[in-house]
Amino acid sequence: MNPLEREIRALIETQGPLSVSRYMALCLAHPEYGYYVTRDPFGAGGDFTTAPEISQMFGELAGIWCAEVWRRMGSPSRVALVEAGPGRGTLMKDALRAAKVLPGFLDAIELHLVETSPLLQERQREALHGVVPSIAWHGEVSTLPDDAPLIVIGNEFIDALPVDQFEKKAGRWHERKIGLGADGGFAFGLDPAPLLNFERELPERLTPAPDGAIFERRKLAPLAPMLARIAAHGGAALFVDYGHAESGFGDTLQAVQGHDYAEPLESPGEADLTSQVDFEALTKLATGAVRAFGPVSQRKFLCELGIEARTEILQRHATPAMRDEIGTALTRLTGPAPGMGELFKALAFAHRALAALPGFDGARVSGGASRT
């Protein structure tokens, strides 16, 4: 039994079963034993590999996206470039290298990284040494600048935000919680008190849910300060993550350890915990002066930004072995399962002054007040 398991067990024994979101938050972000606090989980030697680690092309295109958004904003002399969940700094390093193609962009940016892990902050410092004159780190989104436009990137950031789960039983909805099972281990159960009027929180098409249905609701409050700043000062935010375009039922909570699936309730703090992003719910954050663009598949997004042309350029002067690696990376990023092209999706928020965003041509636009 590891120290975090002992602490969670003590909480359950004294306070009762925990919500799924609280369990998830403790596993990932406990200040001493949390998964992201205690390790570098990325790459072949870690637990999972993200798109920026698969190919430099992903970060390069993200950088081109940011630079083009800045141009469409009117090339302001000062803008906060933000990455939420920057990992090892790989995406941002590639992004800033590619963004040099647009004169003036790098001179205008102030770099801000939202990262709680001291270990990963050090990896980011190493990766970006000499690339930018200074970096400001933030433990939470609420401390980002509130006096400048923002351009935000978040790759696989939202899937790690905690979720609550709810299950329908005997015609009533109950919150799903984590307590102690008959064998003494952690186990899922239902709060005995039914939730009143829970159906009102569901999209209308989902209200005739069958018994046994599970609905997940993510804690999206951390995004509110970011979108409020975009509403007040302009800018845009791009999120790329895995998930479903429309709200639906299902238990998508999963643990990953050593590039394989693990049991979410075993060895807390030692495996990554995520759940699929509900992009329909995410778009509902677009209100007032902020619009949502998408979601679109990662394949559509990257292809519109020119990943196929970039692949050809990189392959042109590569060795045969490198050409194969570059082609394989393209397939992983844009191909169907087991590739990331369809399961992963891109969604952006932007101030209503931005009528269109690169990578979202023809995509659905929702929310936001109409321009006058």
Write down the pLDDT at residue 177: 98
* Residue 269 counted as domain residue: yes
Write down the pLDDT at residue 11: 96
- pLDDT tens readout for residues 119-166: 999 999 999 999 998 999 999 999 999 999 999 999 999 999 999 999
Asked whether the beta carbons of 219 and 161 are under 8 A apart, the reply is yes
Q: What is the CATH number of the domain that holds 88?
A: 3.40.50.150
Taking CA atoms, 55 is separated from 23, 64, 337, 358, in Å, by: 33, 15, 18, 20
Q: What does the CA dihedral 183, 188, 190, 195 come to, rounded to 10 degrees?
A: 160
Write down the pLDDT at residue 82: 98
User: What is the band of 46 on the pLDDT scale with cuts at 50, 70, 90?
Assistant: confident
* Residue 206 counted as domain residue: no
Strands 290-297 and 150-155: unpaired
* Residue 53 counted as domain residue: yes
* Residue 328 counted as domain residue: no
pLDDT surpasses 50 at 372: no
Average pLDDT over residues 317-335: 97
Distance CA(156)–CA(115), nearest Å, equals 13
Strands 172-180 and 18-19: antiparallel
* Residue 187 counted as domain residue: no
Distance CA(295)–CA(282), nearest Å, equals 10
What DSSP character marks residue 42? Answer: B
Write down the pLDDT at residue 370: 44
Average pLDDT over residues 221-233: 95
Write down the pLDDT at residue 48: 85
pLDDT surpasses 80 at 45: no
* Number of domains present in the structure of the chain: 1
Q: What percent of the chain has pLDDT over 90?
A: 90
* Residue 250 counted as domain residue: yes
Backbone angles phi, psi at 43, to 5 degrees: 85, -175
User: What is the band of 369 on the pLDDT scale with cuts at 50, 70, 90?
Assistant: low
Helix (H, G, I), strand (E, B) or coil at 192: coil
User: What is the band of 40 on the pLDDT scale with cuts at 50, 70, 90?
Assistant: confident
Taking CA atoms, 346 is separated from 6, 114, 137, 262, in Å, by: 39, 19, 25, 27
**Whole-model pTM?**
0.95
- pLDDT tens readout for residues 267-309: 999 999 999 999 999 999 998 899 999 999 999 999 999 999 9
Compute the mean pLDDT over every residue in the chain, rounded to the nearest whole number: 95
Residues spanned by the domain of 279: 37-161+219-297+347-356
Q: Which of 163, 162, 185, 187 is nearest to 177 (CA)?
A: 187
Distance CA(242)–CA(176), nearest Å, equals 23
* Residue 182 counted as domain residue: no
Write down the pLDDT at residue 220: 96
* Residue 188 counted as domain residue: no
Helix (H, G, I), strand (E, B) or coil at 253: coil
